[in-house]
Copies of this chain bind each other. A is one copy, B any other.
Amino acid sequence: MLELDIRGVSQDIIGSENGLNIQAEFENYKTQIADIVSDLYKRKDTPGEGLQWMNLGYSQETSWYVKEYAALVENRFDNILVLGIGGSTLGGIAITHALLKPYWNLLSKEQRGGYPRIFFLDNVDPDDINGLLDIIDLKKTLVNVITKSGDTTETMAQYMIIKDRLEKELDDDYRKNIIVTTDKKTGILRQISEQEGYKTFVVPDDVGGRFSVFTAVGLLPFALVGINIDEITAGIRDLDAQLKNTNIYENIAAQNALIHYLLDTKYGKDITVLMPYSEKLKFIPDWFTQLWAESLGKNKTIEEKPIKAGPTPIGAIGARDQHTLMQLFNEGPNNKVINFVRIGEFDTTLDIPQIFQYTGIGYLGGKTVNNLINAEADSTQATLIDYSRPTITIKIPKVDGYHIAQLLYMLEMQTAITGALYNINTFDQPSVEQTRNYTYGLMGRIGYEGSAKALHDKLEYV
């Protein structure tokens, strides 16, 4: 089970100018926290609340369909190509990188146990897309188009290009190489999928993109590369049993939510760092960054008083970023909360040989790389404590589907509770519409001529 160690934010450890009186704050907030948690669980099935992600551990139906389809296409494709952006791909990238063997796409098919390579196209850089199309054989590629709304510009442009090429290579058979994950009923991609006869999967209602990793958005690509998705859903269910506990002393998501909220609003620590000590977890911060930024970065005025919400998330990777960011974290402004993610047990051990014994590096011989990365993390935390910086450690016993799912689900719940503490709407992203409309205008979409004109007026100075 996931564990949280919060002692590094205590004023007993880092002093009362930067640290919290944890016991007193838990007492102050225990009623509010209990109300928030019980309210989330009460509203989770209510349409329009955006809380269906809380049910995903229990959704046996999706798992069943996904597994059935994955079994059907086993051994049929050399590559999985996921088209999507933001919440449609970040969870997939993070979890496949964590759970597949390292350097997966460089392994032979045999080393991959017969499973395909996996690529995510999550941008619209012409050189990058051309580069990828140069190296994969589309005929042997299963393309999974993912967009909840069904008209995300970047994803639809990718889809149009690849559909066109697939059709040229495979004639009518190309339909077997495209699967779609989108809204159950609405949207252009749903409509096209039905006309074209693609196999489709559903992004359920009331699950926003950044909370969608445990829908078919993530589960389908996972199953296609041989990841056991039952372990993932089991991990969520088991953690969920704890997170529904309204007692802050027993709810780690609530604890971390309250700590971040208080350190931001009382002490101005408005930067949230997530720093896994693991290469396998190196894309988790990208996923978290969207979750935290897009959920909490809101402008809200209550009774004419603006609410200051929106801590800025930053990813870092240990031990590497000790050599890049840590000087700033130690001696720069004390405006950050550093969340370490530590692994109990790595999958493998790597010995450092006993050579150069009589030189200045002799001390490393006979130790393991495992010892070293753990010593680095301890040393970094100790230094941050020396500089009175708040630190938290999230511990996962092992990088497997069960625990990775718990890590992501805990951070989702933490985000929901933090949003409730700030009293904002955690589940919308209003300002992004504006950008979309400008882009529609510039790309000539009918009905958006006004947006194009407004943009030209604004950027005319350029």
A residues sitting closer than 8 Å to B (CB atoms) are 5, 7, 12-13, 85-87, 90, 101-103, 105-107, 111, 122-132, 134-135, 151, 153-154, 156-157, 160-161, 163-164, 188, 191-192, 209, 270-271, 277-280, 286, 289-290, 293-294, 296-299, 308-310, 312, 314, 317-320, 322-333, 335-336, 346-353, 355-356, 359-361, 363-365, 367-373, 375-376, 378-383, 385-387, 393, 399, 429-432, 434-436, 438-440, 442-446, 454-455, 458-459, 461-462
Q: Give A348 to B126 CA distance when docked, in angstroms.
A: 6
Q: A4 → chain B, closest Cβ, in Å?
A: 13
Q: Give A7 to B459 CA distance when docked, in angstroms.
A: 10
Instruction: Give the contacting residue for A446; candidates B346, B363, B459; CB below 8 A.
Output: B363
> B293, A310: Cβ atoms under 8 Å?
no
Q: Give A331 to B310 CA distance when docked, in angstroms.
A: 8
Q: Give A333 to B332 CA distance when docked, in angstroms.
A: 20
5 CB contacts below 8 A, A to B, read A126-B348, A164-B353, A312-B328, A312-B335, A322-B435
Point out the residues of chain B lying under 8 angstroms from A432, CB to CB.
322-323, 326-327, 330
Can you list the 7 inter-chain pairs with the closest CB atoms, starting with the nearest? A310-B332, A102-B131, A297-B328, A86-B323, A379-B438, A297-B332, A290-B324
**Known: A361-B151, A363-B443, A459-B378. Is A86-B156 also a contact (CB below 8 A)?**
no
> A127, B280: Cβ atoms under 8 Å?
yes
Give the number of times this chain occurs in the complex, counting copies.
2
> A125, B379: Cβ atoms under 8 Å?
no
Interface SS of chain A: helix, strand, loop or mixed? helix
> A333, B310: Cβ atoms under 8 Å?
yes
Q: A435 → chain B, closest Cβ, in Å?
A: 4
